[in-house]
Amino acid sequence: MFSHFLEKDANAFPTCAPRKFFDADNEVFFKRLQKVLPNCLIFPHVQLAAILEAHVSNEKKRQLMRQKLQERHVDFGIFNKELELLCVVELESNSDTSKDEEYPTRKLLKSAGIKCIRWSRDALPTAEQILRTLAPYSALDAPKIETSMQTIGKLFADADVQDLATLQDKAFSYIEHGNPNALSLAAIHRITPECFIKKEYPHIWQKICLFAGDPGYLKNYLDSLFIQNRPIKRRGLPKHVSNEVIAIQSENARFVIPKEPNPVWDPTFLHR
């Protein structure tokens, strides 16, 4: 009796529900790829059989390899507008077991001369990091990490900028240091929503923006704002301005690499 119902259910036409094409990680990464490669065609879940063909003389083994290629895919394929494959991208996780396969995907791709770029799924690269790697395929210029002094040089070399206020706006709006391991200009602006420094001490605001790409340099400059025993006497910063400076100091401290302590000379060392 029960077998009759089970058999009837097995023969019933299945119902389906829509399924989201991307998981969260792949969706975030796909949008970053689109931003970085505006002139490329990006295809997700590319089956290996669509881009590889096994050259094996043995028919049985060739059928086996074709089946293996049909069962596997790479996360993204990057093509130019002529649909020529430029490279493939794989997002790997700690649970990846592909290294234990008899025919690892990376070796198959390498044998075909296909460039494969791998990133960790647990630490997805930013758009800037992706652009640095995929710059040969992008119409965009890869961002370069600049020191604060290089940024200053570029800014002051612009002969069209004469007015201090215009100079500040240009520094904030157009000059971004491109260092992912430093406080961004947008972050500095968010930290100081009331813009007390910018309004009341524009020369200090300008230098903070210019030095942002070098956390150590910015730290030294911010520390110097509270030093009173300098050749030029200063009144000191008002409390509301000081609070903004301290807030920037606190955030910048996350990027400052601590210096190694100098070794202490032990006079007894020579007598050991």
Query: Tell me: the pLDDT tens digits for 45-59?
Result: 999 999 998 888 888
> Is residue 78's pLDDT more than 90?
yes
What is the pLDDT at residue 121? 86
Sheet containing 41-47: order of strands: 41-47, 73-79, 85-92, 116-120
**Arithmetic mean of pLDDT over the chain:** 78
Looking at residues 57-84, what average pLDDT do you find? 89
Instruction: Note the pLDDT of residue 5.
Output: 54
**Residue 158 confidence class, pLDDT cut points 50, 70, 90:** very low
| In the chain, where the domains are located | 24-137, 148-252
Q: What pLDDT score was predicted for residue 98?
A: 57
115: confidence class by pLDDT, cuts 50, 70, 90 = very high
Query: Which CATH architecture is the domain 24-137 placed in?
Result: 3-Layer(aba) Sandwich (3.40)
- Exposure string (b/e) for 144-154, b if CB count within 10 Å is 16 or more? eebebeebbee
Nearest CA among 75, 23, 15 for reference residue 48: 75
| Cβ atoms within 10 Å of 212's Cβ, excluding its own | 26
pLDDT, one tens digit per residue, over 2-35 is 555 555 566 788 899 998 888 888 888 999 999 8
- The pLDDT tens digits of the residues spanning 187-235 come to 888 889 999 999 999 889 888 888 888 888 899 889 988 876 544 555 6
Distance CA 145, CA 232 (A): 34
State how far the Cα of 68 lies from the Cα of 200, in Å rounded to an integer.
67
- Mean pLDDT confidence for 55-68: 85
Closest CA to 218 of 165, 257, 167: 257
DSSP code of 87?
Answer: E
Can you tell me the mean pLDDT for 163-183? Answer: 55
Long-range contacts of the stretch 256-265 (C-beta < 8 A, 24+): 256/215, 256/216, 256/219, 257/215, 257/216
Tell me which amino acid residue 133 is.
Answer: T
